[in-house]
Amino acid sequence: MALRAVRGAVQLDVDEREHLLAATRELVTAVLEANRLSTDDLVNMVFTCTPDLTSEFPAVAARELGLGDVPLMCAVEVDVAGAMPRVVRLMALAQTPLERGEVQHVYLRGAVALRRDIAQ
């Protein structure tokens, strides 16, 4: 088993609590499924939000999915002029037999434009 970082992002339509939670649950679920990970495989998960997202912490959605015993952290993304708005990003550290090149990074909705080179 190796320790691997898995990235993901989703762009929201609006900054509304239920929309943010639903989109974050979708992202977390997609990252776990794409990499065949269980909550027991997770070491931690860090979320960032663009500064225009203030309706809720993305970690709430992860807890709703049963990740309550996984260390979770939220932060604000760097506010770069012209950056894509309304984006939740995540980076999960996980124990997995996958090789680095086999890790599937997940970019949903408009966030696909952030990393066309690695998005699935």
Q: Do the domain assignments include residue 120?
A: no
CATH number where 110 lies: 3.30.1330.40
pLDDT in tens, 79-116: 999 999 999 999 999 999 999 999 999 999 988 888 76
Work out the pLDDT band at 118, boundaries 50, 70, 90: low
Q: Given a cut of 80, is residue 24 above it in pLDDT?
A: yes
**Sign of the CA dihedral 13, 15, 20, 24?**
positive
Q: Is 89 designated active site?
A: yes
Task: Tell me if 74 sits within 8 A of 47, measured CB to CB.
Answer: yes
Q: Do the domain assignments include residue 119?
A: no
Tokens of 60: 């709430």
Q: Do the domain assignments include residue 22?
A: yes
| b (16+ CB within 10 A) / e for 19-48 | bbbebbbebbebbbeebebeeebbeebbbb
Q: Do the domain assignments include residue 23?
A: yes
- Give this prediction's pTM: 0.93
Instruction: Indicate which residue of 17, 63, 64, 102 is catalytic.
Output: 63
Number of domains in the chain: 1
Q: Is 33 designated active site?
A: no
What values do phi and psi take at 89, rounded to 5? -115, 155
Domain span including residue 68: 2-114
